[in-house]
Amino acid sequence: MAVEARRIVFLGAPGSGKGTQAELLAAALGVPAVSTGDMLRQAVAAGTPLGSRVESILKAGELVDDATMGDVVRARLGQADAAAGFLLDGYPRTIAQADTLDSILEEAGVALDLVLQVRVPEKELVRRALDRRREDDTEEVIGNRLAVYEESTRPLIGLYRGRGLLRPVDGNQPVESVAATILATVEAGV
């Protein structure tokens, strides 16, 4: 069965594998996987006024505010390769960002098709993060990141569930199994 190009958001805690799964699904669907990190780097690399603004915020060690992230997402989704669909990884993270995404899509005359929530138990998320062996990945720091994610994302889960777009996926299995489950979910339609 051929799968139509989609506009899909991936939600998942740090370490859930959502970035990996977004890349795999993007390849299967022929649409770009767009992570907020990629969007920020592209804006900076392009040397646009928006990129300059993002660069200074990052250099100051501050979080990029919702309005600026909205500008970055708007610019990225306005590129030709995203016209037929895209997979967003890491955006939106707040209700305000979800509202901005709604506006961006409405301006383009399209709608979100699906929100995939990659779920992994917290104990496994901590194990995966510690296995990366990054300097700042201590159990305490990882726990804080997970708490922030949970606090900011819980309202999104309710929002998208209420719209009938949310599809939870068990991310605590081999990469190939998760990918097959996600593809089957997308093929089943929305």
- Per residue in 162-184, pLDDT (tens digit) is 999 999 999 999 999 999 999 99
Residue type, 29: L
Residue 132 annotated in active site:
yes
Which one from 41, 53, 74, 93 is the annotated catalytic residue?
A: 93
Answer yes or no: 59 catalytic: no
Q: Does position 7 have pLDDT exceeding 70, yes or no? A: yes
96 with 66: CB under 8 angstroms? Answer: yes
According to DSSP, the residues that pair with 151 across neighbouring strands are none
| Residue found under tokens 């720091």 | 141
Using alpha carbons only, give the angle 94, 44, 9 rounded to the nearest 5 degrees. Answer: 30
Active-site residue, from 6, 76, 128, 145: 145
**Domains of the chain, with CATH numbers?**
7-184 (3.40.50.300)
Report the pLDDT value the prediction gives residue 59, as an integer from 0 to 100: 61
Q: Rounded to the nearest 10 degrees, how much is the dihedral formed by the CA atoms of 82, 87, 89, 90?
A: 70
Active site (annotated) includes residue 128: no
d(CA 34, CA 12): 15
The pLDDT tens digits for 137-151 are 678 878 877 887 888
- Catalytic residue, chosen from 6, 7, 18, 76, is 18
